[in-house]
Amino acid sequence: MIIYLNSRNCKTSDDCLPYSTCNRDFNECFYGSFICEGDKPCSFVNPTIWDPVKEEYTKEFLDKRKKEKENRDNEDDDENEEKVLPILKSCEIEPKDILKGICETEICHQNSDCFSNKCDHYTCIAEADRPIYLCSLRTDLPHPKLKCGFNNNIKCKNDDQCFHHCFKGYCVNYDASKLYYELYYYSIFFMGLIIALLIYRRVILKEINRYKKKGEEDENEDEEGLNEHTITNNDIENIINENEIKNKKLSRIGENNGNISKISNTVVPTINLI
C-alpha cells in the first residue's frame, strides 16, 4: 500500500513538524526519511549517516569513520570501532536462500542487532507478516511528496506496493523492469544483426566458392584442349618419315617422267612393208 502525505505550507522551518524542514522553493514542509516495521511506530533515519533510498552509508559518514580509524593507535583493531546499530537493511527471503547470496546485509549476531528484530545466518531477515516500510520524500515526482511503500528486498506483486519498483517479486530501488526489457530488446536486436551477418557471410562464401569452382572447371577444359592438340616427339618423327617417303615417291615419279620424255623424243626407223 502506498501512502502520500501532503506537505503543509510554511515560511520557516519553525512552521513545520519535527523531522521536517521548510523548503523555500515550494514554501512547503519537506519531511525527512522514516523506516517502519509492520504496524509499529516509525523511526527517523539520520540523513547524515544512512541513505535509506540507496541503502548505504553516506560518504560524509564513511569519511568521518575513516579519519577516526586513522587516528587510532592500533589501526587493525576493529573491535574498538563503534558499531552502528540497529542494522536498517533487511531481506525477506527464505532461510535456504540466505547462503545463495541473493540478498545480503551487514553481519548480525543477535536479533537485537537488526531493525527487523530477526537475525538468521548473520543476515537481518524481514518477516512476511511484518514487512519493512520506507517513508521518504520522492523528489522525482512532479511535485515532491512523502511516499510510504515496501522497502527494498521485500516481496511484492506490483509497483503500487513498493517505494520504488517491483521486479521479479521483490521491491528494488531502480526501474529494473525497464532496464530488463531494454536489455532484452537490445539483445534481440544484436542477435538478429549477428544472424543476418552470418547469413550474408554464408551467401558471399557460397558465391565465391561457385566462381572458384567454375574457374577450376574452365581451367580443366583448357588443359584438356591443350592435351588434345599437343604433338609429341614421336608424332613429329612419324610426320617427318611420312614426308620423306612422299618426297621419295615424288622423286621417283619425276625420274620416270623424264625417261618417258626421252623415249618420245627418239626417232625410231620405220620399215615399209609395202
pLDDT tens digits along 114-162:
999 999 989 999 999 999 999 988 877 777 788 899 999 999 999 889 9
Q: Given this model, what pLDDT does residue 35 score?
A: 94
Asked if 22 and 106 count as a contact pair (C-beta separation under 8 A), the reply is no
Instruction: Report pTM.
Output: 0.60
Q: Given this model, what pLDDT does residue 72 score?
A: 73
DSSP the chain: --EEEPPPB-SSGGGSPTTEEEETTTTEEEE--EEEETTSPPEE--TTTEETTTTEE-HHHHHHHHHHHHHSS-TT-GGGSPP--SB---B---HHHHTTTSS--S--SSGGGBTTS-EETTEEB--TTS-EEEEEEETTSSS-EEEEEEPTT-B-SSGGGBSSEEETTEEESS-HHHHHHHHHHHHHHHHHHHHHHHHHHHHHHHHHHHHHHHHHHHHHHHHHHHHHH---HHHHHHHHHHHHHHHHHHHHHHHHHHHHHHHHHSPPP-----
Percent of the chain predicted with pLDDT > 90: 28
Q: What rounded mean pLDDT belongs to the chain?
A: 77
pLDDT tens digits along 133-142:
999 888 777 7
Q: Given this model, what pLDDT does residue 102 score?
A: 80
Is the pLDDT confidence value at 19 over 70? yes
Is the pLDDT confidence value at 91 over 70? yes
Q: Given this model, what pLDDT does residue 156 score?
A: 93
pLDDT tens digits along 26-81:
888 888 999 999 889 999 999 999 998 888 999 999 999 888 888 876 555 555 56
Q: Given this model, what pLDDT does residue 223 score?
A: 59
Q: Given this model, what pLDDT does residue 164 score?
A: 87
Q: Given this model, what pLDDT does residue 179 score?
A: 55
Q: Given this model, what pLDDT does residue 190 score?
A: 76
Is the pLDDT confidence value at 272 over 50? no
Please state, in angstroms and rounded to a whole number, the distance separating the CA atoms of residues 180 and 41: 36
Domain extents in the chain: 3-61+80-174, 177-215
Please state, in angstroms and rounded to a whole number, the distance separating the CA atoms of residues 124 and 68: 27
Percent of the chain predicted with pLDDT > 70: 67
Give the residue-averaged pLDDT of 11-23.
90
pLDDT tens digits along 210-269:
777 776 666 666 555 555 555 555 666 666 667 676 666 666 655 555 543 443 444 434
pLDDT tens digits along 173-199:
865 555 555 565 567 777 878 888 888
In sequence order, the 6+-apart residues with CB closer than 8 A to the CB of 41 are none
